[in-house]
Structure 1
Amino acid sequence: MGDPIVPPRSRGGFPMSPLSPAPLPDRLNRGDRSVITILLIAAFVVILNETTMNVALPRIMADFQVPERTAQWLTTAFLLTMAVIIPITGWLLQRFPTRAVFTLAMSLFSAGTLAALLAPQFPLLLAARVVQASGTAVMMPLLMTTIMTLVPPHHRGKVMGNISLVISVAPAVGPTLSGLLLHLGSWRLIFGFVLPIALLMLVLGRRGLRASSSDATAPPLDLISIPLTALAFGPLIYGLSLTGTEAPFWEPMLAIGIGVAGLLAFVARQLVLQGRDEAFLDLRTFTFPTFSVALLMMAIAMMAMFGSIIMLPLLLQNVYGLEPLQVGLMMLPGGIAMGLLGPIVGRLYDKVGPRVLVVPASLVVLGVFGAFALLTPSTPWWAVMVAHIVMSISFAFLFTPLFTVALGVLPPRLYSHGSAMIGTVQQVAGAAGTSLFVTVFAMQTAVAESAGQPTPQAMLTGSHWAFLGAGAVWTAAVITAFFLRRPPRTPTTRQAPHRWPTSRRPSLTPASLTSRRAGRMSQRARGTSTMRVPRSMGSRSDCVSSCTIGSARPGSDTATVNRTLDPQAASTTSSPRFISAPWMRPASAGPTSMPHITRRCGMTRGASASAVATASE
């Protein structure tokens, strides 16, 4: 049978073949840049819409005569829908072409925006927000996956920096824009402003995005995973959003308990499906240590950012007596600075890697939390604004490297699942951070008031404890930052490697190693070399390949090659096929020699593939 096959280095069951096909180009062409620009603008619009509703709630309450807790469902239902849909996007992006997914997302968002604009009653407005959220949930994973697919590794930091611009500037501008539109007229103007831009992006995206083919090897839709997703992430986000509010204590605890139980069931289901290579949300992303470290730090950063976004307005309005518009204008520079720095930080990442950027930034954030914990009633408002700007700039130096390094270590087949995982963690961590800040703030404020402190001073004391708690949690992020590693700079491929079948996974023994060494010495003596290459070996096919290349001597232009045919092709045909592929120039060939290989392959499903290739100039 010959020597045993030795697999290349792998992670999570994915062999990293040295013969990866179709390397990415060194630079983006004009079409790819247009695609990314359209996706960035579309993502900016949907995230902008997400943050404009809070300011409009009082007007909506007055128009529809609903109480505050009912009106708050416009925001809560949006977040719940996002939390349920985002885990599904991993399968969605793998199964359908990019243009189809984009069209679906923007069509849902545009339809929901139009329905909200014309809604005559509150229930219809609530349903429209759910439809909007269904489209919004798809956009960020779609944007990340597209960037990872199109952009070569040494340019990804610069392009991923634009994502930081989107997720930073849109939430910062949203409340200010909403306040301006409310000053000019009805709350319906908010949806009227967004709708034309969304429709324009839908048309441009349909024209600009290529009609790429879907992945025929994508797993079928698992009808059990969908309700488990809703059971896990819906109650979890809902329970976290109720923590620290006036709701009875049992209500958020019950929701969180149901969510945790659903999450455990969802994870167990995915592990079962992974055994058949049909996972709905592939958890093998966590077998890459760098991805896990980056995702952990991203979760802590999201908790800190969302918690501080909630805490600072409460502090500035109730302790320092500022108006909501003044608070919004104070926090606007930090959000804009964070967004504008994203592309710059991305370029720095391409040059120096993640650790040089992330470690100092995490230490600065820890210092800012310490400064917030020392605020007094006499602290000037501009000092609070400067501290917020410094914290926002530090987050800019965190998120761009974390996004890039997390997805950069994954094989292309897992890009969509990694993007969905990042989006899910953002939602859960944001809700958890808000819950942590508000709960600690409310508890310590109540303790201070019971000790006889006036309400403003008691709230300041509560905020001190909240920021101290955030600093304690952030210490874990500082430690985690030292474990970040830069992904390999070798070009990734458009075709993802398949999982190595367990039944064919080879093992190395001393006898096999001795046999291999002896064989190599014999081949050198004959002037030939033999290598065994695992190529595109998935669970759908038990293909074995070997490659014997004749020595390249002057005047010789032939090579004999045995190779594996792609398993997908093997499963669809058993007739001989002809495949053309560029081949490397022999080291001793003339300067103008550039041979070309044509392979004649015959293969049946589950059998070894043999291909004879003839190289000719």
Structure 2
Amino acid sequence: MTSLVSSTLRKGPIMASLLIAAFVALLSQTVLNVALPKMMIDLNVNENTIQWLSNGYMLVNGVLVPVSAFLFNRFSTRKLFLIASSLFAIGTIICAFSGNFGWLLSGRLVQAVGAGILMPLMSVVVLTIFPVEERGKAMGMMGIAMIFAPAIGPTMSGWVVEHYSYHVLFYIIMPLAILAVVFGAFSMKDVIKTSDVKLDIPGVILSTIGFGGLLYGFSDAGSDGWDSAVVVWCLALGGIALLLFIIRSFFTEKPLLDLHVFKYPMFSLTTLINAIITMAMFSGMILLPIFLQNIRGFTPLESGLLLLPGAILMGIMSPITGMIFDKVGARWLSVIGLIITTITTYEFSRLTADTTYNHMMLMYTLRMFGMSMLMMPIQTAGMNQLPRRLNAHGSAMSQTLRNVSGALGTAILVTLMTNKTASHAKELIIAGKIDPADKAKMAEVTQTAMIYGINHSFVVATWLSVAALVLAFFIRKVKPHEEPAAAPAPAAAK
């Protein structure tokens, strides 16, 4: 059972340790978004390959995070934190000195192992050391550091890849990752009780095959098509493995993830909404830099600067929405936020070769303003309904589905963009009777087709936002479920 070990712990140093590590992990993830188009050229790979630097990272998170519930109960908080932050630092070093795409991807996967433990650990520690009435404010403060990384990441990335090799990005992150380990060694304390639980190895295998098969299938569809035998088999194998994983979880005494968290309706609802929002959010993070650099010809630095105001605004709003959440709950925050997100996502589905830089910056900034009202409040609203013993499983489940939905959302949206671009290019060539040897005409066709493909993906993201908006009206304020205390044992006869 997961519970607070001591009520006299100093919360400040513990939170600082977690926030530094989370900042470094998120900075490492966000610096690549703007750099990906340039890295495609440097590494000589296509869109479907380069996205594995992001998808592979999220996939390992999706596979590892389910194991975190076991890890939180099996190992002390301090030991787990140091192992996770050390792995992240090692992965960063591998990336910094990588010589090709294979080594770079390997480093990213090692980073992902550390991040896959750190992110849910932070949520469980916050839920453990803060009472319910202070969780919104705590999550808001956590959001400042977590959003500061996306604020500076794209701009820093744009400047670096414009003037230097992408390796410099990891040279900058490397000392910060080492600092997170050193600071945590002095500041992190044990706050969660441990017990001698066994790892559900079949559950780990099934979840790995399930999530991995689905992601690989969706990603490969972008290059080989949906009727490819590899794609069909991967999707089928992944779906069957996940179904077996779910069935096993209900009939195993100590499952990898306790799916009984879904018997709490508010947790189920908010987890679904967060998964949908994550898929929609990644459309802007992945597709917009491609449009800015490949279509409009903006430099990586200009692309990063366009994303900067939105990320800063999101950071400013995080503690404010946390305090509002403590007062009124998540429903109207999420409804207003999703209305803004839906409108601005629709605006990105109308991009043209003449769309101005300032218009895109305004729309992206407004989109991030809407997003600032969503992620943390919605997650906290669902977690607040769970009894303390399920905090670790709830956090792991929420993080797992969010990571996997982000990876799958990216894979699907990029695949849709790729397929629509290819099919529309063929239509334009046939309709205009264009000679494929005419390079000038073909360049024009390629640009027009890619804009069409990007817009199509944003249309899909818009409908995802609409679905989340409808569900948000059913969110309500709840209190933690109180489980009946065990009856006291009868007194022994004298």
**Same fold, TM-score > 0.5, yes or no:** yes
Deviation at 1:402, TM superposition (A): 0.8
8 A Cα contact 1:157 1:346, kept in partner: yes
8 A Cα contact 1:164 1:396, kept in partner: no
8 A Cα contact 1:240 1:431, kept in partner: no
8 A Cα contact 1:342 1:396, kept in partner: yes
Q: Which residue of 1 aligns with 2:490?
A: 609
Q: How does 1:36-435 map to 2 (within 5 A)?
A: 36-53=15-32, 67=45, 74-119=53-98, 123-182=102-161, 185-212=164-191, 214-216=193-195, 219-245=197-223, 249-250=227-228, 251-273=230-252, 276=253, 278-435=254-411
Q: What is the CA deviation profile of residues 288-312 of structure 1, one whole-angstrom value per residue up to 9, with x for unaligned ones?
A: 0000110111011001100122222
The structure with more strand, counted as a fraction of residues:
1
- Bigger shift: 448-457 or 337-346? 448-457
Q: What is the CA deviation profile of residues 325-345 of structure 1, one whole-angstrom value per residue up to 9, with x for unaligned ones?
A: 322211221122212211111
Question: How does the TM-score come out when normalised to structure 2?
Answer: 0.86
* Counterpart-to-counterpart distance in 2, 1:66 and 1:482: 47
8 A Cα contact 2:93 2:174, kept in partner: yes
Q: Which residue of 2 aligns with 1:479?
A: 470
Q: What is the CA deviation profile of residues 367-408 of structure 1, one whole-angstrom value per residue up to 9, with x for unaligned ones?
A: 223333344444422112111111111010011211211211
8 A Cα contact 2:66 2:257, kept in partner: yes
Deviation at 1:56, TM superposition (A): 5.7
8 A Cα contact 2:57 2:109, kept in partner: yes
Q: Which residue of 2 aligns with 1:575?
A: none
Q: What is the CA deviation profile of residues 442-487 of structure 1, one whole-angstrom value per residue up to 9, with x for unaligned ones?
A: 4444454404474444444434433332222322211111111112
8 A Cα contact 2:218 2:408, kept in partner: yes
- Bigger shift: 200-209 or 456-465? 456-465
Q: Secondary structure at the match of 2:78?
A: helix
Number of equivalences: 475
8 A Cα contact 1:307 1:436, kept in partner: no
Q: 1:225 to 1:471 in 2, by over 3 A?
A: same
Q: What is the CA deviation profile of residues 235-293 of structure 1, one whole-angstrom value per residue up to 9, with x for unaligned ones?
A: 222223334346785233332222111111111111111xx2x1211101100000011
8 A Cα contact 1:81 1:133, kept in partner: yes
* Counterpart-to-counterpart distance in 1, 2:210 and 2:130: 34
Q: 1:71 to 1:392 in 2, by over 3 A?
A: closer
The structure with more helix, counted as a fraction of residues:
2
8 A Cα contact 2:5 2:192, kept in partner: no
Deviation at 1:226, TM superposition (A): 1.7
* Counterpart-to-counterpart distance in 2, 1:49 and 1:22: 31
Q: 1:431 to 1:117 in 2, by over 3 A?
A: closer
8 A Cα contact 2:34 2:300, kept in partner: no
Q: 1:447 to 1:127 in 2, by over 3 A?
A: closer
Q: 1:166 to 1:295 in 2, by over 3 A?
A: farther
Q: How does 1:416-495 map to 2 (within 5 A)?
A: 416-449=392-425, 450-451=427-428, 452=431, 454-488=445-479
8 A Cα contact 1:164 1:399, kept in partner: no
8 A Cα contact 2:210 2:237, kept in partner: yes
Deviation at 1:135, TM superposition (A): 0.7
State the AA in 2 paired with 1:367.
Answer: I
Q: Does 1:535 align with 2:485?
A: yes
* Counterpart-to-counterpart distance in 2, 1:44 and 1:206: 17
Alignment gaps of 5+ in structure 2: 433-444
* Counterpart-to-counterpart distance in 1, 2:325 and 2:204: 37
Q: Which residue of 2 aligns with 1:549?
A: none
Alignment gaps of 5+ in structure 1: 1-13, 15-20, 498-533, 537-544, 546-563, 565-607, 613-617
State the AA in 1 paired with 2:218.
Answer: L
The percentage of aligned residue pairs carrying the same residue is 35
8 A Cα contact 2:215 2:411, kept in partner: no
Q: 1:87 to 1:431 in 2, by over 3 A?
A: same
Deviation at 1:185, TM superposition (A): 4.7
Deviation at 1:366, TM superposition (A): 1.9
Q: Secondary structure at the match of 1:485?
A: coil
8 A Cα contact 1:219 1:280, kept in partner: no
Deviation at 1:161, TM superposition (A): 1.8
Q: Secondary structure at the match of 2:374?
A: helix
Q: What is the CA deviation profile of residues 48-85 of structure 1, one whole-angstrom value per residue up to 9, with x for unaligned ones?
A: 1123346666887888x765577665445433322211
8 A Cα contact 1:76 1:238, kept in partner: no
* Counterpart-to-counterpart distance in 1, 2:351 and 2:40: 35
8 A Cα contact 2:158 2:303, kept in partner: no
- Bigger shift: 231-240 or 311-320? 311-320
8 A Cα contact 1:341 1:396, kept in partner: yes
* Counterpart-to-counterpart distance in 2, 1:266 and 1:313: 37
8 A Cα contact 1:355 1:484, kept in partner: yes
Q: 1:312 to 1:129 in 2, by over 3 A?
A: closer
Q: 1:467 to 1:31 in 2, by over 3 A?
A: same
8 A Cα contact 1:83 1:427, kept in partner: yes
Deviation at 1:199, TM superposition (A): 2.1
* Counterpart-to-counterpart distance in 1, 2:315 and 2:81: 24
